[in-house]
Amino acid sequence: MNRTIRVFIAFLFAISTINAAEHPNLFLTPKGVQEIKSSLGKYPAFDKSLSELKAIADKALAEKIEVPVPKDGGGGYSHEKHKNNYYAMNAAGILFQISADKKYAVFVRDMLMKYAELYPTLPLHPIIKSEARGKLFWQTLNDAVWVVHAANAYDCVYNFISEKDRQLIEKNLFRPMAEFLSNGNPGNFETFNKMHNHGTWALSAVGMIGYTMGDKELVAKALYGSNKDGKSGFFRQLDMLFSPDGYYTEGPYYQRYAIWPFMTFAQVIQNQQPELNIFRYRDGILQKAVNTSLQCAYNGEFFELNDALDKTYATQEIIYAVDIAYKNNPANKQLLDIARLQNSYLVSEEGLSTAKAVAMENIPAFETKSTLLHDGAKGDEGGIAILRSGTDSKQSCLTFKATSHGLSHGHFDKLSMIFYDNGNCILPDYGSARFLNIEPKDGGGYTKENHTWATQTIAHNTVTVDGKSDFNGDIKMSSKYHSDLNYFNADNPEIQVVSAAEGNAYIGVKMNRTTAMITNKAFEYPLVLDIYSVKSDSVHQLDFPFYYKGQLVSTDFKYQKSTKELKALGTKNGYQHLWLEATGKTDKPIADFTFVQGNRFYSITTLANPATQFKMTRIGAGDPDFNLRNTTCFMIHQPNATTHTFVSVIEPHGLYDLTREVTENYDSNLSNLVLLRDDEAFSAVIISLKNGQKFLFITANKDFDESKIKTLVIKDKTISFKANYYFSEIQN
Amino acid sequence: MNRTIRVFIAFLFAISTINAAEHPNLFLTPKGVQEIKSSLGKYPAFDKSLSELKAIADKALAEKIEVPVPKDGGGGYSHEKHKNNYYAMNAAGILFQISADKKYAVFVRDMLMKYAELYPTLPLHPIIKSEARGKLFWQTLNDAVWVVHAANAYDCVYNFISEKDRQLIEKNLFRPMAEFLSNGNPGNFETFNKMHNHGTWALSAVGMIGYTMGDKELVAKALYGSNKDGKSGFFRQLDMLFSPDGYYTEGPYYQRYAIWPFMTFAQVIQNQQPELNIFRYRDGILQKAVNTSLQCAYNGEFFELNDALDKTYATQEIIYAVDIAYKNNPANKQLLDIARLQNSYLVSEEGLSTAKAVAMENIPAFETKSTLLHDGAKGDEGGIAILRSGTDSKQSCLTFKATSHGLSHGHFDKLSMIFYDNGNCILPDYGSARFLNIEPKDGGGYTKENHTWATQTIAHNTVTVDGKSDFNGDIKMSSKYHSDLNYFNADNPEIQVVSAAEGNAYIGVKMNRTTAMITNKAFEYPLVLDIYSVKSDSVHQLDFPFYYKGQLVSTDFKYQKSTKELKALGTKNGYQHLWLEATGKTDKPIADFTFVQGNRFYSITTLANPATQFKMTRIGAGDPDFNLRNTTCFMIHQPNATTHTFVSVIEPHGLYDLTREVTENYDSNLSNLVLLRDDEAFSAVIISLKNGQKFLFITANKDFDESKIKTLVIKDKTISFKANYYFSEIQN
């Protein structure tokens, strides 16, 4: 324990407590406060979190209170000031409860009074970029987050503030804000009642300030929607925004973000109306949502699907999620493994319980699993499959996306995949084109390239037909459909398979992708077999990119790389953002593309025919403001295909140890790849290794009934199997 | 202690010892072996190193001995096999000494016998790429490394092998190899007697096998050169290859590599001829060399100057260096801090002593320092300056290169710099274009782009004149000259300055660069002020690139970026490898270029005039085989300059915390930069901050006498100072 903490704790003990009557009861409770006080000095990580909060509060108290007229976008002065203000109020409020030092309460009160003075004078925020413009911030969303924190601060100092001041603050600030957030203009009314994370923030804000002010009307609106009919509101969101598996339709990045108001507001409801049993609602959907969120990560980094930036388990929203989930379900001890990693806790009963348990319990490792997460409120709108081999930080992991569109943050990337191995992202998804809160970068919001590049199909590891994005890039059309899961089977850890179909993304085109992660002693590391068929009655151009991180080592085909001049690959639908660096062809039936990342080599071995062209591209064309990252890509181009099946193996191999100067096995171990059969019923592939071993993989393409025996003849041998796939070593 | 180690130690204790008589006495000694045996089980990290060695030996013993006919380049089968063989023999030899288990000795003997059979049949290696072709490997260098390891193994099992077998092995293998390495063909004779790291390996090999066989003639040649006159050989290398500061002229990457045979052979000499007092030779030059090597790193990663790849303190050569250095100078306890980090030890008396000390001593932190390392045998050929602010892993650090050419691995980068901050490399040097031991990449050797790109001046953070490299890229010319240090002063940690001149790189052009690292409470982080003047009587084109890692955030000048088509910047001297992505100009007197890396922003603020053009480039043109990394660059282009002084400030600032979603201070804090005076005697610069503070920096440009008082008038005020620079805040 360092000195600052020791001094602070001594100081806390020395000060007499106050009676908080009905307040606080939003996020802190009198009982929780008491427990925190009596636990100080016992749990160093919790003490650290408290002292961090104290540092935030004390820094703010040392400065002049500033409540600037809103002017800037994300990252700009007024934006960051208002954000810092709500963090400061939240911290000071909690500190007041724990220390009972009035200076913290005075600070919160004075700041709220300043806001109560400013707020009535505010028009909509001058930056016109969001359909739901806020007043303090450029978008209502941030106003809602402001209220969530301010409500908590207000709850903490409620009994300290005179009734007269409270009336002023409520009349000039909180009531107008609640009205603005729920009903202030058509956009806000829509957001408040929308099934969307912005709606979750809005109703959490309104509900929390409602509870604090004792305004049942506001609470009812938050819980049951503007019309209090349950057609919107928090419960409806719990019904609609999560699938029965607890998957949030916008994807892992926004699931992480949405979990914050969901869990926070749920804890408030639990404190205020325990009879609602909110954490048991819908079979414990919020607990499932937390677990699902944690599963959507590799080494604690969330999968960058849809609009997504780098985010990890260390974010404050996941600290909220883990602490609250654990407090309300202490049986789930694996959460403690995440909490231990976070080493940071909510300063609340929830955080304290978790910190205590981390200090005292036997903690099992958090288990990452191969899993299928269904999408859609009823779980019938496709889903995300996660295949993993191994449990450690070097595990192989693959995501396979066959979901619905994912609301406004969805991408046009039906049947796309991401591949991780050896602790690194090997075949990445671009995520979003955005520089969060960096004002000179489009105000910290999504850059225009997010639409022109990141959401387009060609930006993803899946097939683009005729140079157009899925549903021709029409979000309304895309939102009507979802991919269909054929089957998912991870029962056998040595061969895990997911298969899905997409029949609506392109008119008259049926796509079917089956991806298997195969762990076998014949392979150095688990390999991925990928069978992607595209069927149509008419002729199409197919582009199938593999974005890769690493440096090209070798190919077994010839290519010509442009050395003096580069041209953009196309003019629209994302193609305008790719520099065409090289093109190649092969006269062999397979092609190999090998690159190195970290201390391992990766080969993509893929079927080729005389029409197949290989394009090596790099992101960065059509990017006048340097907004894009410049990832490289190996693209398979089939110019005139009616029915075509791409078969590829992604194979980690060898060792590139620069420290010991040891290089092993830089070549692919594969000698051949043959698509033996490929029709409506089955696809069968033989993988041949250089050492002579051969493996047969068969997938069913219809009648996905695990209990039904399937029979087919391969090379004069009758093969029967019960599941939807078959895998075995074969003799010549 | 894991089970394997426990079992292994028990096994060691169970076996009776043998008397090794005069052997081993190369690297192991009977006394050392005894100490190792009696220390087993006491020092877990040492035990781990031993068990790793045992794993190597046991793996090799489990396989059939293979001694293939040499065929492949680096990374290829025969190359890696012969390499693994020497590691295996070395491991087995040591294991035999420690365990006395004969199977290890049998293995070494049998493998040596196989080599004794193969070697006489070998012509020069079939790959013709080196001027000193080896027999087992494509270059003699690797043959020498083979002998160093094999000699040690032979020494360990010497007493075990029958005299008849020894005679055969010596006659057919070691004597011919020693002859080949020292005299085998003109190239080898030259290498053996050359002042170069290849020579160090060659003479260590010859010396070690000489000692083992008791061949005084070979030893004498190794110590005093082929003619035994001291004009070459080990002692001469100690005189010539290190500067008095212990700096190795090829640079940090090769210093790390050279230190291996230097320290290894020195320890052998110490064991065999302690009377030579080798570690005290030349005022302890080898100890200085180890310290200097360790200083040439940022966070344990060696500066990538000259031909260099990523290398760290964790490499085996630095383990050799640290363990041997500590054993021979236990007063230098800071070495233990590095050893603790390495957590791996030589299985020898040296390794054991170090492991013991790490376990038992109070270890002071290894102190990275601002330092000037003179180059040249006499220390009068310029040098490398290292400026640091802070001592932790986030310290700011800058290298400033004003050395001689650095032999065949040197680059044409007079007065170039590298900048590190916040744990990251911010303004990198390219290092070498090479994929070590990856055979498909030019046989694992230097790629052609190493010459066409990495060595050229435009690839470095320094000025290129008229689109040509220093000395027009002529290594013979470049090797005749060195830059001249004007002064170096790091006495005051708040203002550290280095200044150097280069008058030979371009005919009729004088260059002078003064770089200061300034730490002041007015700046968020230390900033770098850089004054680079180029003087000539004739008109020249000047290009001054800042290679940066990170993503562009903003500029305060307008630029046009190519969106549909990219062209190479030039056709030769490295320019053919740069894509010109954007060009810009400004009508203001300064220009600002801001990018983000990690969680920090960086602004380069530089003087501009109406002729100044800004070019934003990316490495990767003229690269048909995808051999180059694609680093971005901000380049200042002065098309028609006679006398021109570049003045730039490199300023870390702000915070970009994606986890907490906090962005602060993304804009430069500078409001202006003025070059107030710039002549033969002085350059004076005023840095103005947006908060109104102003700072004056003056550097002397001649008469670099620290004791002499300098006087000048700036803005009607007389300023006098004693050192070669002046820095102070000023009032308006």
Q: Which residues contact A47 (CB under 8 A, 6 or more apart)?
A: A1, A5, A9, A40, A41
pLDDT for position B17: 29
Does 1.10.287.110 match the CATH number of domain A1-240?
Answer: no
pLDDT tens, position by position, B32-75:
999 999 999 999 999 999 999 999 999 999 999 999 999 998 87
CB A278 within 8 A of CB A289: no
| pTM value surpassing 0.90 | yes
Q: Are B619 and B569 in contact (CB under 8 A)?
A: no
Q: Give the pLDDT mean for B675-698.
A: 97
pLDDT in tens, B230-287: 999 999 999 999 999 999 999 999 999 999 999 999 999 999 999 999 999 999 999 9
Average pLDDT of the residues in B2-17: 40
Q: Is the peptide bond before B526 cis (omega within 30 degrees of 0)?
A: no
- B 419-448 residues with CB < 8 A to A: 435-441, 444
Q: H/E element holding B264? A: helix B252-272
Chain A contact present for B653, CB below 8 A: no
B577 given a catalytic annotation:
no
pLDDT value at position B676?
A: 96
Nearest 10 degrees: CA dihedral of B430, B431, B435, B437?
-170
- Rounded to whole angstroms, the Cα distance separating B395 from A37 reads 39
Quick check: B86 pLDDT over 90?
A: yes
pLDDT digits (tens, 9 = 90+) for B584-614: 999 999 999 999 999 999 999 999 999 999 9
- Go through B584-599 and write b for each residue having 16 or more CB atoms within 10 A of its CB, e for each that does not: bbbeeebbbbbbbbbb
Distinct helix (H) and strand (E) counts, chain B: 19, 30
Judge whether A316 is closer than 8 Å to chain B, CB to CB. Answer: yes
More confident residue, B199 or B185: B199
Top residue of A449, A565, A666 to mutate, by most chain B CBs within 10 Å, is A666
> Tokens at residue A521, please?
């002693």
Backbone φ and ψ of A133, nearest 5° = -65, 140
pLDDT attached to residue B136: 97
Which of A563, A602, A653, A668 is the best mutation test for B, with the most CBs of B within 10 A? A563
pLDDT at A732: 66
**In this structure, which CATH number among 3.40.120.10, 1.50.10.100, 2.60.40.420, 3.30.70.920 belongs to the domain B1-57+85-120+145-240?**
1.50.10.100
Percentage of chain B with pLDDT > 70? 97
Whether A61 has its CB under 8 Å from any CB of chain B: the answer is: no
Distances (CA, A) of B333 to B266, B279, B323, B347: 20, 17, 11, 20
- Please state, in angstroms and rounded to a whole number, the distance separating the CA atoms of residues B19 and B683: 72
Structure tokens at B572: 């030769």
User: Any chain A CB within 8 A of the CB of B276?
Assistant: no
B666: contact with A, CB 8 A cutoff: yes
Q: Which of A23, A196, A198, A409 is catalytic?
A: A409
With a cut of 50, say whether residue B15 has pLDDT above it: no
- Tell me, what's the pLDDT at A7? 39
Chain B residues lying within 8 Å of A566, measured CB to CB? 565-567, 579, 621
Task: Give the C-alpha separation, A185 to A194, whole Å.
Answer: 14
CA distance A72 to A60: 21
Please tell me if residue B711 touches chain A, with a CB cutoff of 8 Å.
Answer: no
Minimum-distance CB partner of A623 among B553, B563, B622: B563
Architecture of domain B371-730: Distorted Sandwich (2.70)
Question: How far is A636 from A606, CA to CA, in rounded Å?
Answer: 9
Where do the structural domains in chain A lie, given as residue ranges? 1-240, 246-367, 371-730
Q: Where are the beta strands (DSSP E) in B202-346?
A: 297-298, 301-302
Interatomic CA distance for residues B136 and B118, integer angstroms: 10
Give A 84-143 residues with CB within 8 A of chain B. Answer: none
In degrees, rounded to 5, the angle at the alpha carbon of residue A150 between the alpha carbons of residues A144 and A155 is 130
**Which secondary-structure segment (H or E) carries B649?**
strand B644-653
Contact B436 A565 (CB under 8 A): no
**What residues of chain B lie within 8 A of the CB of A658, using their CB?**
309-311, 436
Q: CA nearest B208: which of B181, B185, B172, B184? A: B181
Q: Using an 8 Å Cβ cutoff, are A714 and A684 in contact?
A: yes
How many Cβ atoms are within 10 Å of B310's Cβ, its own excluded?
Answer: 12
| Interchain CB distance below 8 Å, A661 and B436 | yes
B616 touching chain A per CB within 8 A: yes
Residues of chain A with pLDDT under 50: 1-21
**Would the CB atoms of B596 and A74 count as touching at under 8 Å?**
no
A:345-384 residues touching chain B, CB 8 A cutoff: none
Q: Is pLDDT above 80 for B21?
A: no
pLDDT single digits (tens) B508-533: 999 999 999 999 999 999 999 999 99
A409 as an active site residue: the answer is: yes
What's the whole-number average pLDDT of chain B? 95
What pLDDT was estimated at residue B732?
Answer: 67
- Residue A715: its pLDDT value, please? 86
Q: What is the pLDDT of residues B280-339, one digit of tens each?
A: 999 999 999 999 999 999 999 999 999 999 999 999 999 999 999 999 999 999 999 999
Question: Do A307 and A253 contact (CB within 8 A), yes or no?
Answer: yes
User: Does the pLDDT value for residue B14 go beyond 90?
Assistant: no
- Per-residue model confidence (pLDDT) at position B22: 81
Q: DSSP label at B141?
A: H
**pLDDT tens column, B99-128:** 999 999 999 999 999 999 999 999 999 999
The verdict on whether omega for the bond into residue B24 sits within 30 degrees of 0, i.e. cis, is: yes
Grouping H, G, I as helix, E, B as strand and the rest as coil, residue B243 is coil
Query: Which residues from A are below 8 Å from B616, CB to CB?
Result: 626
Distance spanning both ends of chain A, measured CA to CA? 67
Helix axes B252-272, B281-295, angle to 10 degrees: 140
State the pLDDT at residue B197: 87
Comparing B11 with A334, the larger pLDDT belongs to A334
Say if residue B3's pLDDT is above 50. Answer: no
**For the CA atoms of B9, B13, B19, B22, what is the dihedral angle to 10 degrees?**
30
* Residue reference for tokens 């274009």: B433
